[in-house]
């Protein structure tokens, strides 16, 4: 054949089945003759036959539905098309996608359909959507239906399984943003029903499942992506209406700089001078004529005060972001930024923040949710919106109450130089709206796990000492413990500040009791560190943390250089006693239950340690990485631990004096 045969030219397709016919042949009837095709086997022949039949019928339906006359006929043809796709023996994605694309094109070219016609078409194609994502144009049509008819039964009966499939199987909303938008509009439609959030809550429960662990790993990331996009959309017009939205540092410091930007929305200054009032009014009138965005949706009030602390001015002028732990955020309320959303944006915001609350209530979802929210993936305008931060506080509180380190560690920043939720919700932070209760909860959970470090205490002393003392004065036990640790670790150098802390502790019953215990420990510490005693000490096997504490409290150990706890039952809890030994140079923890938390504490206080044996201990990379600060280490035994190759290479690079290393029976071996 010199020319190809188009599918539209094929009049008929037949299998040759008479007795003397050639094997495995197809006969195509075309204008002017026939074409005989011979396959290698019967399977391939049948595949050709059904494929040609499919192509021929699809061409027919495209032609019929491209020029609709009566919608009753069109609806009938759509149903026939769907039945054909469902009964086809062919297995290919295009078998179901091609009919959906035909219907999608039909709907995009005919925008004047009635609501009833919309619903009839949706119901007709519903069987195809059970195992297929809707194409982009069809998603847009579904979004429009959700917005215009949120109470339609189609939303509940047809869209629910479609959205469930999207949330369970979608891998990347970036490649198919219309699917995300459709899911977003579907949830808003559920929220418009009489039961409102109760319906949304039941939908979230159905996505999680009845067991304690959700069997679908993609559901949570997809739900969070939908929530983040919806929350951003609430502030989108406000963000786009300004040449430069305020930076997070400006919001944090509470200092807007109107001279550096040209707002296209009218900003109302509270308590300005008369000249400024007239200038602002003129500017507002001129801008309102050319700008119609969001002025009816969002109202902004900025209040400036004439007084600002020098420290704040210096901070605002510095371009570098403060370190998360080294320099906690200081943001005196020198101004107030108030954002008011329009009714629709307000409902959207309330719905999706409520969903984040629901997600945080599931124990199995909370670690992943905390990790996804750790970078603070919200627009800066949202963090300046009091209603948003007040509602989101519940989610942060759930993180702060979770005893798992993988959850509450996400309260801190994702990397150095950026703020975390700990900073935003601490006293003076942009999101703090209480007297420090949430701050105390966060400090309590962080101090209770692995953050009882000098660095953490130093950051609190430098930036949050006032709030800590105020909460301690009100009897908060966590803050009383913080102040005692600051005194015990000599965090505070200023004598006046030390006396003030002591006065604060003695002003409450719990503070007075803990301060007296601190004084007793200090006297014992002086006795323990007094020169004298043995230089080498070995505890009997099966000794416990209590046995070690009892032994060290019985005399002076200022000369102790070599301590062996091998084959004892000591745990990380004994680290607080070990760090009091000033001359300790060799420590043997072979076959003990000493873990990561204790290792972190040792690495911070026993910087002169030279020999450390961790053979057969449950330490992991999380604790072993802390050893990089022990620059005096010459010998390190990590035999039979959970050491990884990357951590081993990192330790070798950071410990210049390390000469003897045992990594047998580890990943690094």
Which of 60-64, 120-124, 336-340, 447-451 reaches the highest mean pLDDT? 120-124
Region 448-453: mean pLDDT is 62
pLDDT at 440 over 80: yes
544 to 240, 568, 592, 593: CA distances (angstroms)? 63, 7, 10, 10
pLDDT tens-digit readout, 603-644? 988 989 999 999 999 999 989 999 998 999 999 999 999 999
Q: 605 by DSSP, 3-state: which?
A: helix
Q: 596 by DSSP, 3-state: which?
A: helix
The answer to whether 584 and 558 have CB atoms below 8 angstroms apart is: no
Specify burial of residue 323 (Cβ count, 10 A radius: 0-12, 13-18, 19+).
middle
User: How many CB atoms are closer than 10 A to CB 457?
Assistant: 21
Q: What are phi and psi of 536, to 5 degrees?
A: -130, 145
The first and second tokens of residue 87, run together, are 């009964």
Residues 6+ away with beta carbon under 8 Å from 449: 403, 405, 408, 409, 597
The first and second tokens of residue 177, run together, are 């943003």
Closest CA to 97 of 110, 119, 117, 81: 81
Q: Round to whole Å and give the CA distance between 623 and 644.
A: 12
**pLDDT confidence of residue 594:** 96
pLDDT tens-digit readout, 27-41? 888 888 888 888 889
342 pLDDT band, cuts 50/70/90, is confident
Q: In this prediction, what percent of the chain has a pLDDT beyond 70?
A: 85
Instruction: Please state which of the ranges 8-17, 35-44, 315-324, 495-504 shows the lowest mean pLDDT.
Output: 315-324
**pLDDT confidence of residue 1:** 60
Bridge-based pairing of strands 25-30 and 33-38 is antiparallel
Q: Round to whole Å and give the CA distance between 356 and 360.
A: 6
Specify burial of residue 278 (Cβ count, 10 A radius: 0-12, 13-18, 19+).
exposed
Region 661-666: mean pLDDT is 94
Domains of the chain: 1-67 (no CATH), 454-526 (no CATH), 530-662 (3.80.10.10)
Bridge-based pairing of strands 635-637 and 660-662 is parallel
pLDDT tens-digit readout, 350-359? 999 999 999 9
602 pLDDT band, cuts 50/70/90, is very high
The first and second tokens of residue 98, run together, are 């091609």
Dihedral angle over CA of 92, 96, 98, 103, nearest 10: 180
The answer to whether 63 and 57 have CB atoms below 8 angstroms apart is: no
Instruction: Name the residue with higher pLDDT: 341 or 362.
Output: 362
**pLDDT confidence of residue 286:** 39
Closest CA to 103 of 88, 124, 89: 124
**Tokens 């008479």 found at:** 18
pLDDT tens-digit readout, 273-311? 334 333 333 433 433 333 333 333 333 333 333 333 333
pLDDT at 411 over 90: yes
pLDDT at 465 over 60: yes
**pLDDT confidence of residue 317:** 38
pLDDT tens-digit readout, 531-566? 777 889 999 988 999 999 888 887 788 889 999 999
Beta partners for 199? none
337 pLDDT band, cuts 50/70/90, is low
Dihedral angle over CA of 315, 317, 322, 326, nearest 10: -50
Q: Round to whole Å and give the CA distance between 471 and 439.
A: 10
Helix, strand, coil fractions of the chain, as percent rounded to 5: 55, 10, 35
Angle, helix 343-360 to helix 366-373, in steps of 10 degrees: 130
Q: What are phi and psi of 13, to 5 degrees?
A: -130, 125
Please provide the DSSP assignment of 489-546 as one string: TT----HHHHHHHHHHHHTSHHHHHHHHHHHHHHHHHHHHHSS-S-SEEEPPTT--HH
What's the pTM value of the predicted model, to 2 decimals?
A: 0.70
């Amino acid at each position: 054949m010199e020319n190809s045969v188009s599918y539209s030219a094929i009049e008929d397709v037949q299998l040759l089945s008479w007795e003397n016919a050639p094997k495995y042949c197809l006969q195509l009837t075309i204008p002017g003759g026939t074409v005989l095709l011979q396959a290698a086997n019967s399977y391939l022949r049948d595949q050709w036959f059904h494929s040609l039949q499919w192509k021929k019928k699809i061409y027919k339906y495209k032609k019929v539905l491209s020029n609709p006359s009566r919608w009753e006929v069109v609806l009938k043809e759509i149903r026939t098309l769907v039945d054909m796709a469902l009964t086809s023996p062919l297995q290919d994605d295009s078998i179901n996608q091609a009919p959906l694309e035909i219907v999608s094109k039909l709907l995009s070219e005919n925008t004047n359909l009635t609501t009833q016609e919309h619903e009839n078409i949706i119901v007709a194609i519903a069987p195809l959507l059970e195992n297929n994502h809707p194409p982009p144009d069809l998603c847009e049509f579904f979004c429009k239906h959700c917005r215009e008819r949120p109470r339609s039964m189609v939303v509940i009966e047809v869209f629910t399984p479609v959205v469930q499939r999207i949330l369970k199987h979608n891998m990347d909303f970036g490649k198919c943003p219309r699917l995300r938008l459709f899911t977003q509009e579907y949830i808003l439609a559920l929220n418009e029903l009489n039961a409102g959030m109760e319906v949304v809550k039941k939908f979230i429960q159905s996505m999680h499942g009845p067991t304690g662990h959700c069997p679908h790993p993609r559901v949570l990331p997809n739900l969070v992506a939908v929530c983040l996009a919806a929350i951003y959309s609430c502030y989108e017009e406000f963000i786009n209406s300004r040449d430069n939205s305020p930076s997070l540092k400006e919001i944090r410091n509470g200092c807007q700089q109107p001279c550096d930007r040209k707002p296209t929305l009218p900003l109302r200054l509270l308590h300005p001078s008369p000249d400024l009032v007239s200038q602002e009014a003129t500017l507002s009138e001129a801008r309102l004529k050319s700008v119609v965005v969001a002025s009816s949706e969002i109202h902004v009030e900025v209040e400036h005060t004439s007084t600002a602390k020098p420290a704040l001015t210096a901070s605002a002028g510095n371009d570098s972001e403060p370190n998360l732990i080294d320099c906690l955020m200081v943001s005196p309320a020198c101004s107030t930024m108030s954002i008011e959303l329009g009714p629709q944006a307000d409902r959207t915001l309330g719905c999706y923040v409520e969903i984040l609350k629901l997600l945080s209530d599931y124990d199995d979802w909370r670690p992943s949710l905390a990790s996804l929210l750790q970078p603070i993936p919200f627009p800066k305008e949202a963090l300046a919106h009091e209603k948003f931060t007040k509602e989101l506080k519940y989610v942060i509180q759930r993180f702060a109450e979770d005893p798992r380190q993988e959850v509450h560690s996400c309260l801190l920043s994702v990397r150095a130089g950026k703020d975390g939720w700990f900073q935003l919700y601490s006293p003076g932070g942009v999101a703090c709206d209480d007297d420090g209760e949430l701050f105390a909860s966060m400090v309590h959970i962080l101090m209770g796990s692995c953050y009882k470090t000098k660095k953490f205490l130093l950051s609190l002393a430098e930036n949050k000492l006032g709030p800590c003392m105020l909460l301690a004065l009100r009897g908060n036990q966590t803050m009383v413990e913080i102040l005692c640790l600051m005194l015990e670790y000599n965090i505070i150098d200023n004598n006046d500040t030390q006396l003030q802390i002591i006065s604060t502790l003695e002003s409450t019953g719990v503070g007075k009791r803990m301060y007296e215990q601190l004084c007793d420990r200090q006297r014992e510490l002086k006795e323990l560190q007094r020169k004298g005693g043995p230089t080498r000490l070995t505890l009997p096997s099966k000794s416990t943390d209590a046995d070690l504490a009892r032994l060290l409290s019985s005399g002076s150990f200022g000369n102790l250089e070599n301590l062996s706890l091998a084959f004892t039952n000591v745990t990380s809890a004994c680290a607080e006693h070990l760090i009091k030994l000033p001359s300790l140079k060799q420590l043997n923890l072979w076959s003990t239950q000493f873990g990561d938390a204790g290792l972190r504490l040792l690495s911070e206080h026993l910087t002169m340690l030279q020999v450390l044996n961790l053979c057969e201990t449950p330490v992991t990379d999380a604790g072993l990485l802390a050893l990089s600060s022990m620059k005096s280490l010459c010998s390190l035994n990590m035999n039979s631990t959970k050491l990884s190759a990357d951590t081993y290479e990192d330790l070798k690079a950071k410990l210049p004096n390390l000469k003897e290393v045992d990594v047998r029976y580890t990943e690094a071996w």
